[in-house]
Structure 1
């Protein structure tokens, strides 16, 4: 009987040890999984920061410039506005070709003459989700919606990046616009 008791005791002890071993193993797996997840998050964050550092090369953050936006109507009347928001509020459907802005056509004269454009700078107006190309030698400015893809040629897109996007501050919208322009260059 003594031997049976010892065997039972041994079995009980080993059974208890097995449970403890499984419990430790599960805890180790959980810690390993948490560590793996933490590492993945750190890697993703590092990759995001690296991408932002690259995009900053094409971003110029500065104070507000004072620009005057002139709206000349077909009837010859004109109005001047101190900021893009006021300018956009005053626009009527007759003031612009909405089809061109919302459904750009590569065959339209505006888009056909891109090689002639002498872009001085491009600026993001974040609060109205518009960016503007400022041209040299003409009073022409092209205002484009951030979320819309326009038929811009590769040479112009590259020039835009080299000129750097002007923004009041670093923002998700500025980085997303730069990534979008960069992806358009890679597509062409």
Structure 2
């Protein structure tokens, strides 16, 4: 009975989410997926780009695709006019056979892709966020991070204050919470600022937590304790923040391990197995989520 209620409310939340206007993250993900599948772009070519830059690439690619007129058929017709009627019929028959074979091949590939995605969907847990829809005009007005501060009010009241170029500020208790709002460029900016501060000094206290999270993301070493003690952890959940391309493993010890989706880390096969035995939490279904699941599955088969 409880399981049925969970499925009912999950389906209801998913239906409500689908009926909402697309958010900034969703619109960006859709355009990136189109650019990868149709425009031939790689993830590394798109990461860190602003919404405005992605939209320009999308508009250019979309225009090229829809204004394209195939010339092969015209060339074949002109050449066939110089040949006898029998040769022309053979050529057309061969072309039709090739087109039929190409269509059948495409259908088979699409069926295989759809079957694979359906299998991968079983490893996804869609948890809609609280994002509100925003107009296209406002999407390009995001200001870069220019400074950060650590605020320690008491032993139980500590947080990080993020300051952007327009002087707006927002406070976060931990790095994981920042990822709800950050894109890849935000993460890179914060890493640069924190690294600059601790070039000549060692972080202490609450600063060590943020520095440790960023080092794990950008400068992983198999000798770090976080990787060497994997067998002592129990995975509680793992979540993907596709707006910045980072996923996080939450362990029973309270440790959170943050990683870039395109980077390989010293995770054991056992850890990868535990990840797939649970479900990847996502805000919405996306190609980056499927890529992460494919990679995780490949690491188990090694």
TM-score range (shorter-chain normalised) is 0.7 to 0.9
Distance 1:168 1:100, change over 3 A: closer
Equivalent residues in 2 for 1:10-29, closer than 5 Å? 19-29=84-94
Q: Which secondary structure does the structure 2 equivalent of 1:169 belong to? A: coil
Larger relative contact order (CA 8 Å, sep ≥ 6): 1
Superposition pairs of residues 32-47 of structure 1, within 5 angstroms: 32-47=97-112
In structure 1, stretches of 5+ residues that fail to align are 1-17, 66-72
Moved more, 49-58 or 166-175: 49-58
- Once the two structures are superposed, the pairs formed by residues 19-168 of structure 1 within 5 Å of their partners are 19-64=84-129, 78-79=158-159, 80=173, 82-85=177-180, 92-93=194-195, 94=203, 95-97=210-212, 98-136=214-252, 138-168=253-283
Q: Please state how far the C-alpha of 1:114 moved relative to its aligned partner.
A: 0.2
**Cα distance per residue 1:125-160 (max 9 Å; x no partner):** 010111011122x33211111111111011110110
**Cα separation, 2, equivalents of 1:99 and 1:62:** 28
Cα distance in 2 for partners of 1:146, 1:31 equals 43
Q: Deviations over 1:56-102 (max 9, x none)?
A: 1211112238xxxxxxx6x8772126542458576623531454432
Give the gaps of 5 or more residues in structure 2: 1-82, 131-149, 160-172, 196-202, 204-209
Q: Normalized against structure 2, the TM-score is what? A: 0.49
Decide which structure has the larger Cα Rg and report it.
1
Alignment of 1:177 onto 2:242? no
Question: C-alpha displacement at 1:43, in angstroms?
Answer: 1.0
In 2, Cα distance between equivalents of 1:33 and 1:161: 41
Q: 2:178 and 2:211 mapped to 1: Cα distance? A: 18
